[in-house]
Amino acid sequence: MYLLGLGLVLLLLKWQQIGVVAGWSWWLVLAPFAGAALWWTLSDLSGLTRRRAAAREQRRQRERVERQRQALSGGHTKPPLRRG
């Protein structure tokens, strides 16, 4: 996301002919967008995106179970048994 933000700022500066960015090549101004696309591609290929999504879903599930446990017990819960 940082690369996209940087790309948008550089694009606006180049488009409005503001500062030193006005004299830069368009290739240099658009490079952060290519970097973001490359990062997302590598992230997807390495499984990082899938692992983060799975961790987020597990956290949501634990929170949901805990809320339900507290609702059923009136706010008083015992710690879950650890197996293994």
Which letter does DSSP use for residue 74 in this model? T
Quick one: pLDDT at residue 33?
96
Check pLDDT > 70 for residue 84: no
Distance between CA atoms of residues 67 and 82, nearest Å: 19
At 64-81, the pLDDT tens digits run: 999 998 888 876 666 667
Quick one: pLDDT at residue 79?
67
Distance between CA atoms of residues 64 and 71, nearest Å: 11
**Which token pair is 1?**
């996301």
Quick one: pLDDT at residue 48?
83
Distance between CA atoms of residues 66 and 73, nearest Å: 11
At 19-52, the pLDDT tens digits run: 999 999 999 999 999 999 999 999 888 988 888 8
Distance between CA atoms of residues 11 and 27, nearest Å: 11
Quick one: pLDDT at residue 55?
93
